Structure 1
Amino acid sequence: MPTRGAVLTSDDEQALAAKTASDVLGLARRAEATGFSSVWVGDSVLAKPRHEPLSTLAAVASETEAVDLGTAVYLPDLRNPVHVAHQAATVDQLSGGRLRLGVGVGIGPDVEAEYANLDRTFRERGARTNELLEIVTELWNGDAVDYNGEYYDLEDASIGFEPVGEVPIYVASAAFDPSDGFPRSIEERLATHGDGWLPIGFGPEQYRDGFGEIAALLEESGRSSDTFRKAIYLDVVIDEDESRAIETARSFYERYYPAWPTLSDDQIRDKGAFGPIETVRETIDAYEAAGVETIAVRFTTDAQRKQLRTFAPLVG
């Protein structure tokens, strides 16, 4: 859902309120009616201004009945772990157990500045996120927590209630060569806290190889990969003219990520599926053949409703 896009395309608070009602809550209702199994929101506090994700999902929960509610992705290290556990458990309760928590740490100079403004050390964000997730999952068990770690200390801490069920944690990762293995902090996150994988910028064959690495990692940790959830974050623009679809995406990226250099056509193609609906269908089929179960689609254009209508035949 375009929580960032609503902010980018609104000139004042009245316009933003209207965009939020239409392009966030309204599109969530339409996505559920169309047959989507889940809706997702992104996260940023300062680097890319947008609505706070868990508050947004609480609102979406009241507007929908069955669709799962996910973060793609949430940056928990920008918050206190007790707040993260409390807010997430609340959303899960309000939604009847529909929360799916995709988590990451963020990259780029704008995110580094964001961490600094929130009094967080950027280079320690991976290790600190892992410690935070350990605390969050302990708090979700309902017992009082005593914790003495490298970054956090808690004494007799309890949020007083539990989520409806197990809130699955999807571990995000950016593109890299799977044959090189995962970075150490992500390995630890996958093995210890992960219930699923939610990468971005992986082609279908890369995804298959990457999940093979995860399966081996889980086996080494005494866990089975059979129930590990397989997801991917995929950018999409549907247009009969591929060059026009790519140009639409390029314009979106330039506004959305002003710190990025201008992307080539091939760099944009690597981020998703752009062009006729048949091309998008073939891309989705290739991911499904690689084992992907959930595709979180982001339409990299301002024409959200038109893209949703065009994409609808692919849902199911």
Structure 2
Amino acid sequence: MTGPQIGYLLPTRDQTVLGEHEPARLVAQARRAEELGLDSVWAGDSPVTRPRADPLLLLSAVAQATGRVALGTAVLLPALRHPILLAHQLATLDRLSGGRVIAGVGGGFPNPNTRAQFAAVGVDFDRRTSRMEESIDAMRLLWSGEAVSYRGKHFAFEDVRIAPPPLRPGGPPIWLAGSNGPALRRVARLADGWLPYPPKAATYAEEHRVIEQAATARPITPALYATVCLDEDPERARRRLRNSIERYYNAPLEVVESIQAMFAGTARQAADWLTGYTDAGARHLVIRLATEDHHTGLEEFADQVLPLLRRENHR
């Protein structure tokens, strides 16, 4: 069995919550993740609801500071942007990074705060999914490097050519978030990868089978976005997870963990929990660390959990 790729979510939101605004420290953290043997680094997107450093600008700096790791967005909200501008940014980033970009995208979780974010930038929240789908189609056309035209319900343009084109023919792979029926069909129809966060590995396995059965256009990389809090005392780990998540989302832990994959416990327990998802089909794990000290947290994860994951998946 080939082991999974292991990625690290840069703590852009955590830095803002603590009142710190030091993008250079995030770049250094990405460089350290590469040195420690991780396979990818990721940045989230939420300019208004949960403010943080802009993911594409941050990853452009990371591209210059690293040479091997994939650079992903977890996840970008294309419905907030015009596809010509977004395609141009992603193509330029793909060139800067030597073809290492993964465009993880999503529609935006349906809650009042996310609605307010869309309203703030003048985008109809109820049309976010169809805007996202059109953006994906339009960007793939634009990434050809040729003059192209597009006409949809939300976007239309004639004879537009962007330069530079992406380094890779066809552009960066597009990974879609989402679970349940319509979202899974969308992944099967449009995506190069799937980046969900179901709380149970059994749910992941069931939904992965749905995608495998429905996908016909291209192979789809099954990934996972998961939050981990490490501590040798599981009860203390649970308290630390609560503090981190409730500060991050301004919502009770019980609500968030009913939606997202989250774990608190020892390194051995965390590796076993994550292996449940790789057994269910996940091939790229994007790890968000719930910790007060992200430098130490990254070192602990790489030292204690990463070797266990590599060993378990090469048995």
Same fold? TM cut 0.5: yes
Matching of residue 214 in structure 1 with residue 223 in structure 2: no
Partner Cα distance (1:267, 1:233) in 2 = 13
Paired residue for 2:117, among 89, 111, 114? 114
Corresponding residue of 2:313: none
Runs of 4+ in 1 over 6 A off after TM superposition: none
Larger mean Cα displacement after TM superposition, 199-208 or 146-155: 199-208
Displacement after TM superposition at 1:228 (Å): 1.4
Contact 1:100–1:167 at 8 Å: present in 2 too? yes
Corresponding residue of 1:223: 217
Displacement after TM superposition at 1:264 (Å): 3.2
Paired residue for 2:162, among 159, 165, 169? 159
Corresponding residue of 2:70: 68
Residues 60, 287 of structure 1: alpha-carbon distance in 2 compared, 3 angstrom cutoff: same
CA deviations over 1:185-231 (Å, ceiling 9, x no partner) = x345323320010001342221111110001211xxx335xx31010
Corresponding residue of 2:139: 136
Displacement after TM superposition at 1:161 (Å): 2.8
Any gaps of 5 or more consecutive residues in structure 2? 1-9, 311-315
CA deviations over 1:151-183 (Å, ceiling 9, x no partner) = 111011111331111411111015xxxxxx522
Alignment of 1:231-246 (within 5 A): 231-246=223-238
Contact 2:226–2:260 at 8 Å: present in 1 too? no
Matching of residue 193 in structure 1 with residue 193 in structure 2: no
Q: Which has the higher contact order (CA 8 A, sep 6+)?
A: 2
The 3-state SS of whatever aligns with 1:173 is coil
Residues 265, 84 of structure 1: alpha-carbon distance in 2 compared, 3 angstrom cutoff: closer
Larger mean Cα displacement after TM superposition, 296-305 or 132-141: 296-305
Residues 148, 6 of structure 1: alpha-carbon distance in 2 compared, 3 angstrom cutoff: same
Partner Cα distance (2:65, 2:41) in 1 = 12
Contact 1:42–1:73 at 8 Å: present in 2 too? yes
Partner Cα distance (1:188, 1:249) in 2 = 33
CA deviations over 1:10-36 (Å, ceiling 9, x no partner) = 2xxxx523xx322x1111111000000
Matching of residue 285 in structure 1 with residue 272 in structure 2: no
Letter in 2 for 1:173: G
Residues 265, 111 of structure 1: alpha-carbon distance in 2 compared, 3 angstrom cutoff: closer
The 3-state SS of whatever aligns with 2:228 is strand
Q: How many residues align?
A: 294
Paired residue for 1:44, among 40, 43, 46? 46
Identical amino acids, percent of aligned pairs: 36
CA deviations over 1:90-140 (Å, ceiling 9, x no partner) = 110000000001100111211100001111111111111101111011000
CA deviations over 1:258-297 (Å, ceiling 9, x no partner) = 2x2x233994796322111111110122122112111000
Contact 1:246–1:265 at 8 Å: present in 2 too? no
Partner Cα distance (1:71, 1:194) in 2 = 14
Displacement after TM superposition at 1:147 (Å): 1.4
Paired residue for 2:15, among 6, 25, 28? 6
Corresponding residue of 1:124: 127
Contact 1:85–1:136 at 8 Å: present in 2 too? yes
Partner Cα distance (2:164, 2:29) in 1 = 31
Corresponding residue of 1:101: 103
Letter in 1 for 2:237: A
* Cα RMSD after superposing both structures: 1.8
Corresponding residue of 1:264: 254
The 3-state SS of whatever aligns with 1:201 is coil
Corresponding residue of 1:177: none
Letter in 1 for 2:125: F
The 3-state SS of whatever aligns with 1:16 is coil
Contact 2:75–2:105 at 8 Å: present in 1 too? yes
Displacement after TM superposition at 1:310 (Å): 1.3
Partner Cα distance (1:122, 1:265) in 2 = 22
Partner Cα distance (2:254, 2:137) in 1 = 40
Any gaps of 5 or more consecutive residues in structure 1? 175-180
Corresponding residue of 1:81: 83
CA deviations over 1:31-58 (Å, ceiling 9, x no partner) = 0000000001100111111011111100
